[in-house]
């Protein structure tokens, strides 16, 4: 199950990117969950491994291409 190992490594990379703040945390958590779900589907035999790996790489690439969103500014009444 070489593909499952690659998916898990990619998920760990996404987690590291979120923790260090290199990518947007909100989007990163979603991509992290998505890649994890793909790994489980491959393990269960419900998803083609090659397709799942391509989808996971695409999601991670999208995450890294999107600029980090600015922090929420506090609300102030006018």
Domain residue ranges in the chain: 2-65
Q: Specify the pLDDT at position 1.
A: 58
CB burial string 9-38: b at 16+ within 10 A, e below:
ebbeebbebbeeeebbeebbeebbebbbeb
pLDDT tens for each residue of 1-50: 599 999 999 999 999 999 999 999 989 999 999 999 999 999 999 999 99
Give the pLDDT band (50/70/90) at residue 72.
confident
Give the pLDDT band (50/70/90) at residue 69.
confident
* pTM confidence score: 0.84
């Amino acid at each position: 199950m070489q593909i499952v190992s690659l998916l898990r490594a990619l998920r760990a990379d996404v987690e590291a990117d979120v923790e260090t703040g290199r990518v947007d945390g909100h989007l990163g958590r979603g991509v992290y969950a998505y890649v994890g779900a793909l790994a489980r589907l491959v393990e269960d035999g419900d998803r083609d491994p090659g397709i799942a790996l391509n989808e996971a790489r695409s999601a991670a690439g999208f995450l890294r291409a999107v600029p980090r969103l600015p922090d929420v500014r506090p609300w102030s009444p006018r």
